[in-house]
Amino acid sequence: MSRRRVIVVGGGIAGMTAALACADGGARVTMLEARGRLGGATWTALRQGLSVDNGQHVFLRACTAYRGFLARIGVDGLVDLQRRMAVPVVAPGGRTHWLRRSGLPAPFQLGPSVARYGHLGPSDRLRVGYGALRLARLAPGRRDLDAQTLAGWLVSHGQSEQAVQRFWNLIALPTLNVDAAAASLELAATMFRTGFFTDASAADIGFSRVPLDRLHAEPAGRALVDAGAEVLVRERVRRLDLDDKGAVGVTIAGGHLDADAVILAVPHDEAAALLPSAAGVDRAGLRRLGTSPIVNVHVVYDRPVMRLPFAAGVGTPVQFVFDRTAASGRELPAGRQYLAVSLSGADDYVAMPTEDLRSVFSAELERLFPAAATARIERFFVTREPTATFRALPGTARLRPGTRTGVERLFLGGAWTDTGWPATMEGAARSGQAAAAAALAAVGLMTGERRRPSEAVPA
């Protein structure tokens, strides 16, 4: 009897995770990716002599599915993970205060640093503690929370606008990719509960020491081939093929490919275009999920201007800035520093001309890091992701479908599916795991008791 074949459509983190899990589970896997590379929304390009990631992607210790993916493809040694969360928060003039994890258990681990957090006054610091305890009590899975915004709930529970912007939004905006004023309270509560209210170490921050193509696409491609999978790039799926028993394959330019199960792990707008009505998925609802942009501003100075590996900003449009000098993967001339400014929920910047962005952010970096005022900018460029994530607004929970569809043996993967997480690398990896488990069960390849290589690592 021939091995059961699973076709995975889409080569992002969700698709790569699903394909590896299916191959580890004994399936014959074919991955189809429309672009000429794997990696999905995480990619690297050569710009002005530098290996430039399309965005500064970070993860948390709580991201066990994503960390398991890294371990499975053999690159967990290429990332740094903080021993204890520590975030320097910089205001104009260089005034810096830290949000650090103490040795206290959750949800009190940030209490000592919040008590000393000089970007807020004493009364706001007390109210942040009260707000955190109230937020921690919100029960998971309450869909009524998806009718409210995070900022609206915070203000109704005693948080000032300054506290929202100088504390809560430092965490919410880069995670949800929308401002707290617009973000779904349900998603925000899930994110804060996972990161801060259950495990003191959950929000320790990790990031790559190498460009993303060396962290994701290249090693995952090798791991897939080593696992016996067939990886086809520049192969756009034109149609999902069905019979009265469910999904039986796909049509590409070269014709029909047979399958025993299909996992569709493409962006939600592409999924809406491919899904048949028999799938029972609200395709109009997928389109209503919308998109939210991310913009990264890249600056190379002729000398070091920031002495931190990364920093958050308050009182400035600079949300987060990262020192990418070593992680660019290409040697800069001695003494130079390469900074990347990450702008989430970047509606105000995604269409702004590069020269205008240079005017705004070169001045803002000088305000935050006074040494930049006497440094010379040698290179300046911008990367834009207009459709980086779905838009995490109130009402999105009912628009996110689960793994299974109304078509037997057709499954969904992607950070936009109902993972319970925002649109993050962790959400993508979790969706890939769920889709693989469902596909393996559907084709009679239930995994046994032994641990598969693609399972998550312990927290």
pLDDT level of residue 459 (50, 70, 90 thresholds): very low
The C-alpha atoms of residue 114 and residue 127 are separated, in whole angstroms, by 10
pLDDT level of residue 82 (50, 70, 90 thresholds): very high
Model pTM score = 0.95
Closest by CA position to 28, among listed 19, 37, 38: 19
- The per-residue pLDDT of the chain, averaged, comes to 94
Torsion of CA 351, 356, 357, 358, to 10 degrees: 150
DSSP per residue over 163-214, as a string? HIIIIIHHHHHHHHSS-TTTSBHHHHHHHHIIIIIS-TTTT-EEEESS-HII
Residue 28: strand pairing partners: 5
- Structure token pair of residue 49: 């002599």
pLDDT score of 25? 97
pLDDT tens, 193-234? 999 999 999 999 999 999 999 999 999 999 999 999 999 999
Closest by CA position to 74, among listed 453, 458, 358: 453
Collapse the DSSP code of 155 into the 3-class scheme (helix H, G, I; strand E, B; otherwise coil) and give the result: helix
Q: How far apart are the first and last CA of the chain?
A: 40
The C-alpha atoms of residue 315 and residue 346 are separated, in whole angstroms, by 17
Query: Cβ distance 194 to 202 under 8 Å?
Result: yes
Q: What number of CA atoms fall less than 13 Å from residue 109's CA on the CB side?
A: 20
109-114 long-range Cβ contacts below 8 angstroms, 24+ apart: 109/85, 109/196, 109/200, 110/196, 114/167
Query: Cβ distance 118 to 166 under 8 Å?
Result: no
Domains within the chain, CATH numbers bracketed: 5-42+211-289+394-442 (3.50.50.60), 102-199 (1.10.405), 291-389 (3.90.660.20)
Judge whether residue 256 has pLDDT over 70: yes
Query: Cβ distance 209 to 79 under 8 Å?
Result: yes
Distances (CA, A) of 389 to 40, 161, 186, 402: 12, 26, 17, 17
pLDDT level of residue 456 (50, 70, 90 thresholds): very low
Residue 4: strand pairing partners: none
The C-alpha atoms of residue 42 and residue 57 are separated, in whole angstroms, by 8
pLDDT score of 143? 80
pLDDT score of 286? 97
Other Cβ atoms closer than 10 A to 73: 24
pLDDT score of 49? 81
pLDDT score of 449? 35
Judge whether residue 457 has pLDDT over 50: no
Range 15-39 average pLDDT: 97
Residue 170: strand pairing partners: none
Distance, C-alpha 392 to centroid of its chain: 13
Closest by CA position to 167, among listed 187, 145, 150, 185: 150
pLDDT score of 447? 57
Instruction: Give the DSSP H or E segment for 226.
Output: helix 218-226
pLDDT level of residue 448 (50, 70, 90 thresholds): very low
The C-alpha atoms of residue 437 and residue 169 are separated, in whole angstroms, by 35
The C-alpha atoms of residue 118 and residue 115 are separated, in whole angstroms, by 8
pLDDT tens, 290-330? 999 999 999 999 999 999 999 999 999 999 999 999 888 67
Range 19-36 average pLDDT: 97
Query: Cβ distance 173 to 166 under 8 Å?
Result: no
pLDDT score of 46? 87
